[in-house]
Structure 1
Amino acid sequence: MAARTPVRFMTWNLRFDSMPDNITVPQTISSLPNPITEPAVFLNLTGEQPWSTRRIKVYERIIGEGIQILGCQEALVRQVDDLQELLGDGWDHVGVGRDDGVDAGEFSPIYWNKSLFTLINNDTFWLSQTPFVAGSKFPGAGSVRIATATHFKLNKSGKRFTYINTHLDDQSDAQRQLGASLILWRAHSEASNGSTVILTGDFNSQAAGDGSGAYQIITGQLAPIAINQTFKEAFPIAKRSLPNFEMLDLRTQLPRISVAGNWATFTGFVDPADSSQYIHIDFIFGGNNGGWGTTFHKVENQLTDDGVLASDHRPVIADLLL
């Protein structure tokens, strides 16, 4: 068997740009403090900070952790463009605004290092009863929801894989279950055609307890619910192919010593000593049809000495072998 290529994935909900301003990326960079001067006051900022302050922290974590490919959630078009500007010409991205299929509303973009991956194609589908209708919304959901689907080739080995990134609803468990069912069908279809499948996202669903239906559907513990027939026909599953297909949570596929960092992936913009909002709702999955291995998983810190939390979610990182 050919040697597999190590790849470091990340998923990170960036928190949408809720405090917009006109500060540019170069202006933020020019205002960065002297790196060897001790701060006058530690943790002098509290609560949510504007994106113009947080974006440098996001970039630093991506580069500092050696991330090679990542899916983000909640990014408005300014955030998508800013992150591309910071990452530079060696990176590229795909994704659309969920409200119109172009640039309105939040994106679930995928970024990658171009020296390591070549994008073959990509598409977006809406996590609704009409998944090919841009901007369509599930009744009762808090927001329009999408999934970004990509096919990549590893430049070194030529291996191809499917990567799907998503953000399920924060208010409707029914939407989350429908979204998970659509995504699982699409992943199963890709797997039935021989593709390795990786899935990342903010599921707004924990692994157990109330509201865990989406996680349980993705991981095969709960049967999917009925989905759009046109979608099923667009992404057929080969007959008798992988009848027990499911997605495996990478945290469950490693020795405990190789699952590092924190448990909570959502913290809110609260005092560092306040854990009242902590939950685990952001995941990286691999299809049980194989084609991948995993060696390490962690939920990374994001608080810096100035008190800035880069987001209300922590980044989730996994080392895979593809």
Structure 2
Amino acid sequence: MPFKMSVQDFKGKINEVEIGKGEKAIKIGGQKATALYHFDNDAGNAPKIGIEITDIYPEEWIASLKELYKDVANDPAAWAKFVEEKLEPDFICLRFEGSDPNGLDKSPEECAEVAKAVVEAISIPLVIAGTQNHDKDAKIFEKITAAVDGHNCLFLAATEENYKTVGASAGLAYKHKVGAESSVDINLAKQLNVLLDQLGVKNEDITMHIGCSAVGYGFEYLISTVDRIRLAALGQNDKTLQMPIITPVSFETWTVKESIAEEEDAPEWGSREERAISIEISTATSIIAVGADAVIVRHPKSLETLKNLTSQLA
């Protein structure tokens, strides 16, 4: 008797969102099946991998990364160009750590100048992230969205506290893409998507950042939330949850003790760099396997490993 594979036929489809412009623009989403289930239905676009850079010199980064970027890290535009040419990620994530009110507190105008210089220096898509200070992020994004007009950037992130400002400037006024950031909760994710839709931002212009954690730090709760979101989007055809997911893995994995503990403090753990890379890769591969459409990493070895993985799985 011939073998007949059982196929799960879902009613829903994940929206396809385009970021960037020209030949180097990327598309994420588009699935009609759960992650990597090519045998069920259209698996959509392959996951995309981006590299994180910052608007200021990364004092807290490990020595090998500071050595790699020593000639460019003081100039975000040169840094971005170096990353595009030497590392070849699918996109770059520019994180505005310098605007943190508890740090340098750079003005929105300063941030806008940096963003404009960076986006004009590269041809691949640009994702723009703030400081996690929601009030300040809203202020800098208002200026940055205008400065990068026409480049179809993705802004991370619109939260419950600032979605009106971020959604209006990024999604409505300048036609960028908006990342809706919630905190590992399907209901909060759905609510924020609904609020952005009511504001006037099209579902096709929204991505979701539903939270992240490093492996070993409540990661199974994150995985179960992504599972529930994808099953509702596909199985129940819930259009309020059919946005692709982008996960800034590096924002979390480089802050846990296994990544930051110096070798002299924990010699039994081995190389700090190897530890951090392993945690970053483990976290990124796990979230891709359950449904993330794009991830952001910091280390070039993580990028290389993940790009090889996604190309083999495509």
Q: TM-score, normalised by structure 2?
A: 0.40
Q: Which has the higher strand share?
A: 1
Q: Which has the higher helix share?
A: 2
Q: TM-score, normalised by structure 1?
A: 0.39
